[in-house]
C-alpha cells in the first residue's frame, strides 16, 4: 500500500525570535515576552494568535499507516530541537513519499513548517518537488498545490475551500462516534509548556492525529476508496493497535479507548 502519514503540530511562541525582533530586555521572562506579543497582536486584529513565522514547533505527531502496520510517532522537545524535529519530519517524506493527510494543515501546520524550516536551514527536496525534480508525475500531483491530493487537507476539502463552512475536528470526530479531543486543547498548549507539561502536549497531539486518521477513513469510505468491510477492518486495526499501547500503561491511550467504548 501507499504509506499514509496523518500529521499535526503543536506550537508555542518563538520567545527568542520575539526578543530579537522587538529588542526586549533580557530580564523579561518568557511568559512576559509572549504576553507582550499577544497584546500587540490583540491591538492589531483583536486576536492573540501570533503570525505563522513566530510559532515555534514543539511537537510533530503523526500516524504512519503502511505495510509495516499502524504506528503513532512523535518528534518533540526537549529530546530534539525545533530544527531537528522539522528535518526529521521531512526526511520521512523523502523516505516514504506518503499520502499526507491533515486537518487544516494547508492553513496552519505546513506554512509554519515552511517558515520555521527556512529559519533552521532544513532541506526537503521531495516535499517541494513540483515536477522539475526526480518525479515528473509531481507536476500533476504534488504536496504544494492546493487542489492536488498528495497532501489532503481534510478540513479544507470537506468545506469546499470555504472558511465559513469549516467544521472543528473535535465536533466532527465526536459526531462520528470517535473520542475527539482529550486532556487539553490548542489554547492550553502555551500554559502547559510553561508548566513543564510537554508530555501532556505530546499526548494531546497524538490523540489529535488518531482522530484525524479515523475521520480520514470515514472519508475514504464515503468516496468509495474503501468498501464497508475494508473500512471496518481498518478501524479494527487502529483500535487493536491503541489497545496494545494502552496495555503498556500509556494513560492517554487508556483514556482514548475508554472514551471510544
Q: What is the dihedral of CA 121, 114, 136, 224, to 10 degrees?
A: 140
Are 18 and 36 spatial neighbours (Cβ–Cβ below 8 Å)? yes
User: Could you tell me the pLDDT band of residue 223, with boundaries at 50, 70 and 90?
Assistant: very high
Per-residue pLDDT tens for 102-114? Answer: 999 999 999 999 9
Q: Check if the beta carbon of residue 186 is closer than 8 Å to that of residue 208.
A: no
| Average confidence score pLDDT of the chain | 95
- Range 4-260 has CATH code 3.40.1350.10: no
Q: Are strands 4-13 and 55-66 parallel, antiparallel or unpaired?
A: antiparallel
CA 92 remoteness from chain centre: 14
Structure confidence by residue, pLDDT tens digits, 239-256: 999 999 999 999 999 999
Specify the pLDDT at position 78: 87
Confidence at residue 193, expressed as pLDDT on a 0 to 100 scale: 96
> Would you kindly state where each structural domain of the chain is located, as residue ranges?
4-260
| pLDDT tens by residue, 163-202 | 999 999 999 999 999 999 987 777 899 999 999 999 999 9
pLDDT in tens, 53-95: 999 999 999 999 999 999 999 999 989 999 999 999 999 999 9
Neighbours of 61 (CB within 10 A): 24
For 178, the grid coordinates are: 470517535
Q: Are strands 151-153 and 69-76 parallel, antiparallel or unpaired?
A: unpaired
Q: What confidence tens digit (pLDDT) does each residue in 15-43 have?
A: 999 999 999 999 999 999 999 999 999 99
**Predicted local distance difference test score (pLDDT) of residue 159:** 97
Cβ atoms of 75 and 9 closer than 8 Å? no
At residue 184, the pLDDT reads 78
Distance, in Å, from the CA atom of 158 to the CA atom of 167, rounded to the nearest integer, reads 9
Q: Are 67 and 52 in contact (CB under 8 A)?
A: no
> Which residue do the cell numbers 493527510 mark?
101
Rounded Cα distance between 159 and 214, Å, is: 18
The per-residue pLDDT for 187 is: 82
Tens digits of per-residue pLDDT, 126-172? 999 998 877 788 999 999 998 899 999 999 999 999 999 999 999 99
Q: Which residue has the higher pLDDT, 131 or 234?
A: 234
Q: Please give the pLDDT value at position 87.
A: 98
pLDDT of residue 227: 98
Amino acid at each position: 500500500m501507499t504509506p499514509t502519514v496523518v500529521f499535526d503540530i503543536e506550537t508555542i511562541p518563538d520567545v527568542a525570535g520575539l526578543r530579537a525582533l522587538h529588542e526586549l530586555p533580557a530580564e523579561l521572562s518568557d511568559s512576559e515576552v509572549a504576553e507582550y506579543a499577544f497584546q500587540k497582536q490583540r491591538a492589531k486584529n483583536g486576536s492573540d494568535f501570533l503570525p505563522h513565522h513566530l510559532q515555534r514547533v514543539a511537537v510533530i505527531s503523526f500516524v504512519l499507516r503502511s505495510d509495516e502496520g499502524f504506528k503513532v510517532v512523535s518528534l518533540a522537545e526537549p529530546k530534539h530541537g525545533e530544527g531537528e524535529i522539522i528535518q526529521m519530519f521531512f526526511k520521512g517524506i523523502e523516505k516514504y513519499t506518503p499520502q499526507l493527510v491533515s486537518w487544516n494543515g494547508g492553513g496552519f501546520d505546513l506554512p509554519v513548517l515552511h517558515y520555521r524550516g527556512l529559519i533552521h536551514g532544513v532541506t526537503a527536496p521531495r516535499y517541494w518537488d513540483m515536477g522539475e525534480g526526480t518525479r515528473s508525475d509531481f507536476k500533476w500531483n504534488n504536496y504544494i498545490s492546493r487542489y492536488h491530493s498528495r497532501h489532503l487537507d481534510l478540513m479544507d476539502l470537506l468545506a469546499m475551500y470555504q472558511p465559513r463552512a469549516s467544521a472543528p475536528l473535535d465536533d466532527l470526530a465526536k459526531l462520528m462516534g470517535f473520542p475527539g479531543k482529550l486532556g487539553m486543547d490548542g489554547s492550553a498548549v502555551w500554559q502547559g509548556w510553561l508548566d513543564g507539561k510537554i508530555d501532556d502536549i505530546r499526548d494531546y497531539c497524538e490523540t489529535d492525529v488518531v482522530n484525524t486518521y479515523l475521520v480520514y477513513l470515514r472519508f475514504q469510505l464515503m468516496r468509495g476508496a474503501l468498501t464497508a468491510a475494508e473500512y471496518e477492518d481498518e478501524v479494527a486495526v487502529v483500535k487493536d493497535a491503541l489497545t496494545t499501547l494502552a496495555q503498556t500503561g500509556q494513560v492517554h491511550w487508556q483514556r482514548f479507548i475508554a472514551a471510544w467504548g
